[in-house]
Structure 1
Amino acid sequence: MHLQGAPNEIMCRAFPTTLKGPARVWFSKITLNSVSTFKELSGLFIKHFIGGQRCKRSSTSLLNIKQRDDESLRLYVTQFNKEALLIDDANDKVLVTAFTNGLQSGKFLFSIYKNDLKTMADMLYRALKYMNAKDAVSARKGRFEEAGKT
């Protein structure tokens, strides 16, 4: 809009249409007629939200993620990946160690140790194969149980 030479009034009226969530709530709390220029509005916005910048997390925080007793491997993988995305420049060895450290003992963990996976990509591929195989066995078991009922 700046390049188009739009007037302040238009930019100020168009601005809230681009906001969602907390930014929209913040905007709705601005006192009417308290802002006179788009520059002033954008300055207020930056001042308010600059503190909301994502803090860099340490990869050691991943060591706190543990698979709960009632948590499926699929949910654990999802939770771990969500947290891992918050870490800048995560080292693959640390990711693999933290992921393995948080797993419950069982067949999947045994297969991880047995195959000595080195990268997180390999780890996630192995987890996906394991989850798909488990789903296939469960589906097959369900079909046999249904066939036995008739």
Structure 2
Amino acid sequence: MTALFDKIMSIRLPKEFKMLTLEYYNGTTNPVQHLEGFNSLMAFCGALGPIMCRAFPTFLWKAARTWFNRLEPKSIKAFRKLSSTFLTAFASSWSFKKTPVSMTTVKQRTDESLRSYLTMFNQVKLEVEDLDPAVEFTALLSGINDKDLNWELYKKQLDNLTELRACLEEYMNTLETLDAKFKT
């Protein structure tokens, strides 16, 4: 017995309907991201609510599939209900969006290379919506833990993020060239 209402189950899939692939959801990652991906996939396929309801469980795995199978029989009459029930059930797996303040917590460790720090900084940056370049500039600059580099950047009196990134790239390239020269 399925949680989907009889009317949903009775709708035939159009002959031209081709199910594309999407990563399975197992209950341990962000359900919002999974639902957004699913909605995008269904929009691309031209699927409407009832077909979306029928397709959704095929992308569930492990705990998420168990959750779906334990829903009250015939309790889902629309995709809106299915998606809200899904989001509620897996709310503890949500990853909350970072704010611009999150950028100020990314600091270069003493033993960390500048390139490694920039990689971490950029990963956090991707999780922040509408990050103001001035905030990014300040956070990036304040997170650098290399005294010599900080002194060089201070002397240059940089005005913007583009200038800062160019100086950092030049500094990293110079360090890497010198390291290679003196290792041989």
TM-score by length of 1: 0.67
Counterpart contact for 1:63–1:101, Cα < 8 Å: yes
The residue that corresponds to 2:96 in the other structure is 54
Q: Which 5+ residue runs of structure 1 have no aligned equivalent?
A: 144-150
Per mean C-alpha deviation after superposition, the further-off stretch among 98-107 and 38-47 is 38-47
Deviation at 1:69, TM superposition (A): 0.9
The residue that corresponds to 2:165 in the other structure is 124
RMSD after superposition? 3.3
The residue that corresponds to 1:63 in the other structure is 104
TM-score by length of 2: 0.57
Distance in 2 (CA, whole Å) between partners of 1:43 and 1:94 is 35
Does 1 or 2 have the higher relative contact order (CA < 8 Å, sep 6+)? 2
Aligned residue-pair number: 136
User: What amino acid maps onto 2:129 in structure 1?
Assistant: D
- Which residue of the other structure, out of 80, 85, 88, is the alignment partner of 2:129? 88
Is the helix fraction higher in 1 or 2?
1
Equivalent residues in 2 for 1:99-110 (5 A)? 99-110=140-151
Counterpart contact for 1:93–1:118, Cα < 8 Å: no
Return closer, same or farther for 1:31/1:55 CA change in 2, 3 Å cut-off: closer
Return closer, same or farther for 1:56/1:80 CA change in 2, 3 Å cut-off: closer
Deviation at 1:53, TM superposition (A): 6.5
The residue that corresponds to 2:138 in the other structure is 97
